[in-house]
Amino acid sequence: MHVVLVEPCFPNNQREFLRGLLSTGARISAVSERPIEALPRELREGLFQYERVRSVVDEHALAEAVKRLSQRVRVDRLEATVEAHVMSAAHVREQLGIPGTTSRTAWLCRDKPAMKEAVRQKGIACAQSARVTSVDDAVKFASSVGYPLILKPLDGAGASGTHKVENDEQLHRVLDELRVPQGREVAIEEFLTGHEAFYDTLTVCGKVVLDFASHYFPGVLEAMRTRWISPQIVVTNRIDGGGYQEVRRMGQQVVDALGIWTSPTHMEWFYGDKGLKFSEIGCRPPGVGVWDLYAAANEFDLFAAWGHAIVHESVPFQPSRKYSAGMIALRPDRDGTISHYDGVEQMQQRFGQWILDMHLPPPGTRTQGVEGGYMANAWVRLKHPDYDELRSIMTQIGETVKVRAR
8-17 pLDDT, tens digit each: 999 999 999 9
Q: Any idea which of 161-165, 235-239, 318-322, 349-353 has the lowest mean pLDDT?
A: 161-165
Instruction: Give the lowest-confidence range in 35-49, 146-160, 200-214.
Output: 146-160
Tell whether the model's pLDDT for residue 155 goes beyond 70.
Answer: no
* pLDDT exceeds cutoff 80 at 226: yes
The answer to whether residue 158 scores a pLDDT higher than 60 is no
The answer, yes or no, to whether residue 352 has pLDDT greater than 70, is yes
Report CA Rg, the chain.
22
Q: How far is CA 57 from the centre of its chain?
A: 19
Q: Is residue 157 scored above 70 in pLDDT?
A: no
Whole-prediction pTM value?
Answer: 0.92
From residue 365, alpha-carbon distances to 332, 337, 343, 404 in Å are 11, 5, 19, 11
pLDDT tens digits, one per residue of 229-248: 999 999 999 999 989 999 99
Confidence of residue 160 (pLDDT cuts 50, 70, 90): low
Q: Does the pLDDT value for residue 30 go beyond 90?
A: yes
Cα of 292 vs its chain's centroid, Å: 12
First to last CA, the chain: 54
Mean pLDDT on 285-293: 96
Q: Is the pLDDT of residue 162 over 60?
A: yes
Q: How confident is the model at residue 192 (pLDDT cuts 50, 70, 90)?
A: confident
* Residue 98's pLDDT band (cuts 50, 70, 90): very high
What pLDDT, on a 0 to 100 scale, did the predictor assign at position 46? 97
Inter-CA distances, 243 with 123, 207, 213, 385, Å: 21, 21, 11, 18
Average pLDDT of every residue of the chain = 95
